């Protein structure tokens, strides 16, 4: 359904009435590496990279490492299709990066691990872990999760782990001699990888979090609630309330609903800049044999979001992208503010929708930068940028892929805020970016 005139007016009036519950886009503490730059400022035109890899503003530098095909510390090759990524601190001051690889059974090369450390011997995706020194030198890199499929994004947890998400619901029943993605187990799950893992973990699907086309997760550290996106044009926005905070094996899965407009389709003609009251409906069949989690939620009135992708938590708010949402379908950024209790529901706001691919084109992974702007990786059809979004919603280019038309992915910051890390999807490589001031 598309919002009717009456429903649109209803949402507008509810937004006006609920404006007091809409929180501002708050600035975080400034990072040392940007101490000479005003918060929320743009950084001038991008400088053409003589090496033809990454165009950045004049005050910034980069280093590239862990390229696809490089030999890793465990003897295996760096797999390709570098995707979502999270950053952690280790006990010695290094940064630990856990990085997804969006590989399917049809791909020629995959992640290698002993048989007892593979979830599915036919799955070729998973994660690798990188240890990076404070001076941005790669110390070690190795496999940390294997046997999964299409590990797209995921997210970090406050207890020091990476949740790697499968963007597929493949089953053995779908196998045939003509099917390029034969699997031996059901897929469509999240998997947890501790940042401290020094070798491949024993993969355990987090079934209670739902079986669907997962994209990314973000954890509210105050409550332990996990928010999840789904990369489908009729996908939903979910939350998972663990039975025990910090443990993801059991809990309650729910989908967001706009009570004023049950079964709202938010892709287009949705009012911007107002806080709409929401609540949550329960998902009972979290592990269905078919890809039906979103269908159950929609039957119960949950709102649809068009290709939910990147998600991040910042200062009490959760931001997530819809890659092809918008009146001109080139992307949206949403902001969710939880209520004071889980039962209170919270509010949802369409924060950014430029409706112009020259400003923002298919937003995907995103992170809140230490200086208070969102940084969003594009996955559009032409040149690919990392786009900054100021607190007032204004967009600016922060980096450009000067090598090819492949997407950026996995943008994140070192725990001390001095280094930004981001992946180029194909050919896979990881960049460390920093300011000349620090």
Question: What number is the average pLDDT over the span 91-118?
Answer: 96
What pLDDT score was predicted for residue 40?
Answer: 37
In whole angstroms, what is the distance from residue 277 CA to residue 343 CA? 12
In whole angstroms, what is the distance from residue 369 CA to residue 324 CA? 23
In whole angstroms, what is the distance from residue 108 CA to residue 120 CA? 16
What pLDDT score was predicted for residue 10?
Answer: 52
- Provide CB contacts within 8 A for 77, sequence distance 6+: 69, 70, 71, 109
Pairing verdict, β 138-148 and 125-132: antiparallel
Residue 32 predicted with pLDDT over 50 = no
148-162, 171-185, 242-256, 357-371: least confident range: 171-185
In whole angstroms, what is the distance from residue 227 CA to residue 297 CA? 15
Question: What number is the average pLDDT over the span 50-56?
Answer: 98
What pLDDT score was predicted for residue 176?
Answer: 74
Share of the chain above pLDDT 70, in %: 90
Residue 180 predicted with pLDDT over 90 = no
What pLDDT score was predicted for residue 438?
Answer: 63
* Greater pLDDT, 37 or 203: 203
pTM of full prediction above 0.75: yes
Residue 38 predicted with pLDDT over 80 = no
Question: What number is the average pLDDT over the span 260-287?
Answer: 97
* Greater pLDDT, 130 or 25: 130
- Tokens read off for 414: 């070192």
- pLDDT per residue over 289-328, tens digit each? 999 999 999 999 999 999 999 999 999 999 999 999 999 9
Q: How confident is the model at residue 19 (pLDDT cuts 50, 70, 90)?
A: very low
- pLDDT per residue over 380-420, tens digit each? 989 999 999 999 999 999 999 999 999 999 999 999 999 99
- pLDDT per residue over 330-348, tens digit each? 999 999 999 999 888 999 9
What pLDDT score was predicted for residue 436?
Answer: 86
Distances (CA, A) of 113 to 123, 129, 428: 11, 14, 20
Residue 8 predicted with pLDDT over 70 = no
- pLDDT per residue over 194-218, tens digit each? 999 999 999 999 999 999 999 999 9
What pLDDT score was predicted for residue 39?
Answer: 34
Residue 248 predicted with pLDDT over 70 = yes
């Amino acid at each position: 359904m598309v919002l009717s005139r009456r429903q649109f007016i209803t949402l507008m009036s509810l937004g006006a009435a609920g404006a007091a519950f809409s929180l501002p886009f708050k600035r975080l503490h400034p990072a040392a590496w940007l101490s000479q730059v005003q918060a929320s400022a743009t950084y001038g035109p991008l400088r053409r990279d003589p090496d033809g890899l990454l165009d950045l503003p004049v005050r910034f530098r980069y280093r590239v490492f862990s390229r696809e095909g490089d030999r890793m510390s465990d003897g295996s090759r760096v797999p390709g299709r570098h995707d979502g990524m999270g950053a952690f601190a280790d006990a010695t001051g290094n940064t630990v990066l856990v990085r997804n690889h969006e590989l399917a059974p049809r791909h020629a090369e995959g992640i290698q691990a002993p048989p007892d450390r593979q979830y599915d011997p036919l799955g070729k995706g998973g994660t690798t872990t990188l240890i990076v020194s404070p001076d941005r030198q790669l110390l070690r890199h190795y496999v940390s999760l294997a046997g999964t499929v299409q590990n797209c994004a995921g997210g970090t947890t406050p207890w020091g782990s990476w949740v790697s998400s499968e963007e597929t619901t493949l089953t053995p029943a779908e196998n045939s001699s003509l099917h390029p993605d034969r699997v031996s187990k059901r897929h469509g799950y999240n998997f947890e990888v501790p940042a401290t893992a020094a070798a491949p973990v024993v993969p355990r699907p987090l079934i209670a979090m739902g079986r669907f086309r997962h994209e990314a997760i973000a954890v509210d550290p105050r409550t332990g609630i996990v928010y999840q996106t789904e990369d489908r044009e009729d996908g939903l926005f979910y939350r998972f309330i663990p039975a025990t905070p910090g443990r993801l094996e059991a809990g309650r899965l729910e989908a967001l609903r706009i009570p004023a407009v049950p079964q709202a389709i938010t892709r287009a003609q949705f009012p911007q800049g107002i806080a709409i009251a929401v609540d949550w409906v329960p998902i009972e069949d979290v592990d269905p044999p078919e890809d039906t989690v979103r269908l159950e939620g929609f039957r119960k009135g949950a709102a649809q979001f068009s290709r939910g992708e990147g998600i991040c938590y910042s200062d009490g708010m959760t931001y997530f992208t819809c890659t092809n949402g918008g009146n001109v379908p080139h992307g949206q950024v949403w902001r969710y503010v939880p209520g004071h209790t889980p039962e209170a529901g919270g509010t949802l706001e369409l924060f950014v929708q430029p409706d112009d691919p020259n400003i923002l084109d298919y937003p995907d992974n995103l992170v809140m930068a230490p200086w208070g702007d969102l940084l969003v990786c594009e996955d559009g059809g032409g040149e690919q940028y990392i786009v900054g979004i100021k607190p007032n919603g204004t967009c600016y280019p922060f980096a450009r892929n000067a090598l090819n038309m492949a997407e950026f992915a996995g943008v994140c910051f070192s725990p001390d805020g001095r280094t930004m890390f981001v992946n180029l999807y194909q050919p896979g490589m990881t960049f460390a970016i920093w300011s000349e001031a620090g």
